[in-house]
Amino acid sequence: MTTAAASRRRRTRPMMLAATALVVVAVVGWIVLAATARGAIVAVPKSLTCGDVPVTYDILGGINDDGVPTPAFELTAEPGTKCSLTIVIVNTGSRAVHVDTMEFPELTPGPSRGHLVMVSRDLESDTAPERDDDATGSAIFSIDQDVRGHASMARRFELAYRAPISTCQDEDYSEAHHGIPLVRTSSLGLSGTTKGAVNLLIRGTGVAGSDCG
């Protein structure tokens, strides 16, 4: 009996190992497939207009820390500035991907100075961001939409100047926002975040007196 039981155990062990290997391969394949699908999502700039005047997406310096010239929109932040930024989400893959949110770091009103901030969203409605993250100063917009394979969707965001009282200062400044928006996507039950391909260089001057607030 002992010999027979040992023989069965010897036969069972390879079967268990093979089954475990199959499970591992399936899980790894599932993870890779989901990551590949999410990686096919790209957020690219379509247009920026400020006061109905188109802004050119041009090669500029001062966007990245390494100083390498980079394509970007350059605009001026001053009282009364209002701009409309249209971004296209492109799915270059063949599998549908769900776009959960689009996040714009440091584009909510800050305590240090006046600048341009995201105030409304997309082509279909004028609603406020889903939430503002106080820790990062991010404007986060709920998208909650599938993008089919080899398809795209456009979203328009409004930028407006806001200058809290604490921004009353005279110094000129510039703000570089590169790799926006952060696009959170999900596929096959797994989620991840991808940097966008939109770059902004915002220039402005300090505000004073009646322009504050």
The domain segmentation of the chain, as residue ranges, is 40-211
Looking at residue 15, what is its pLDDT? 67
- Choose from 15-19, 37-41, 74-78, 84-88 the range with maximum mean pLDDT: 84-88
CA angle 92, 136, 62 (to 5 degrees): 70
| pLDDT tens-digit readout, 170-209 | 667 778 888 999 999 998 888 899 999 999 998 876 655 5
| pLDDT tens-digit readout, 89-132 | 999 999 999 999 999 888 875 444 445 676 644 444 444 555 55
CA angle 102, 82, 168 (to 5 degrees): 100
Please give the Cα distance from 176 to 107 (Å, whole number).
11
- Global pTM reads 0.74
In terms of DSSP bridges, do strands 152-162 and 138-147 run parallel, antiparallel, or are they unpaired? unpaired
**C-beta of residue 77 within 8 angstroms of C-beta of residue 138:** no
Phi first, then psi, for residue 122 (nearest 5°) are: 40, 175
* Strand, helix or coil for residue 56: coil
CATH 2.60.40 fits 40-211, yes or no: yes
